[in-house]
Structure 1
Amino acid sequence: MKLIAYNDKFKEQIETYQVKNLVFTGLPQNAIKISQENINYHPVLLVNELNEICTFFILDYGDDKFKYTNNINSLLLRSFSTNERFLRKGYALAALRSLPRYIQTNYPNIQEITLGVNKRNVAAQKLYEKAGFKKEPKTYTGKKGPQLIFSKAIL
């Protein structure tokens, strides 16, 4: 398994990527469209040994991160999802655990990953905690309700 930046070689797989529950995340297809117009959006894929997309997310350099942190050397993790075919096989956790090294390699000035997770999304909260993210004391109210803020230092 490895994390790689999205490229058009994966376009067909992205078009068939399925998300079981869209209550708390969006479709990768939409995030990629945004990334084509927004230079701060960086789509990232976790692919397996067969080069199949298992997990997708965006690393966002933009100002939205300041809703979650004051750290200018941070990235906002957003649109995190696992392809329905690969649910409950450890891919999401593997992606999150691989993320610090990926960021050190590709974004050497970044010191922190931050994200918001809906207060009702207990499964995601447990996943982020298992991957070493720390819940921050403050919250943010987003479009879909209160967001708990999680962060992880990049060392």
Structure 2
Amino acid sequence: MADWEIKKPLGKCVCDDQEFEVGQEYFSALLETEEGFERRDYCVECWERDRPDAYCFWKTRMADEKDKNKKIFIDDEMLMAFFERLGEETEQEKLNFRFVLTLILMQKRKLKYQSDAVVDGQEVWYMKVAGQGRTVKVVNPHLSEDQIEELSGQMGQILQVDL
């Protein structure tokens, strides 16, 4: 399993090094690098001018100093978009990441387990997408509890949320 170095948000734009003011909207993007996923923050102007080819992104607001310890809310639609984007991946690290995201989305009742089967030597779960009536496939990589916890922590650090 890959260990990714996840940088904490610095409170400034990655393009022009301009610090965000309290209440200022900015974009956070999850980019795919050779080392894995990396979070980068962009002011609105730089985002509109130099929008990167992000794996996924969301708009947020700079918190007040007294609110710094509070976690930022990431909506379920963003998590589902991230889940969908990972659907075509075949690299083991991304399969692991998607599986943990599946567990989170099951807990949020956005995905519901229907059945499983062995396909090409891999256990595949068939999940119903809530409110859409469609089914998606998820490879079960048979992660240990420690691996699931580690990946959940990494995902939480990347997205800056409690998972």
Could you say whether these structures have the same fold, taking a TM-score greater than 0.5 normalized by the shorter chain as the test?
A: no
Task: Give the number of the structure whose residues are more often strand, by fraction.
Answer: 1
**TM-score scaled by length of structure 1:** 0.27
TM-score (norm 2): 0.26
Larger Rg belongs to: 2
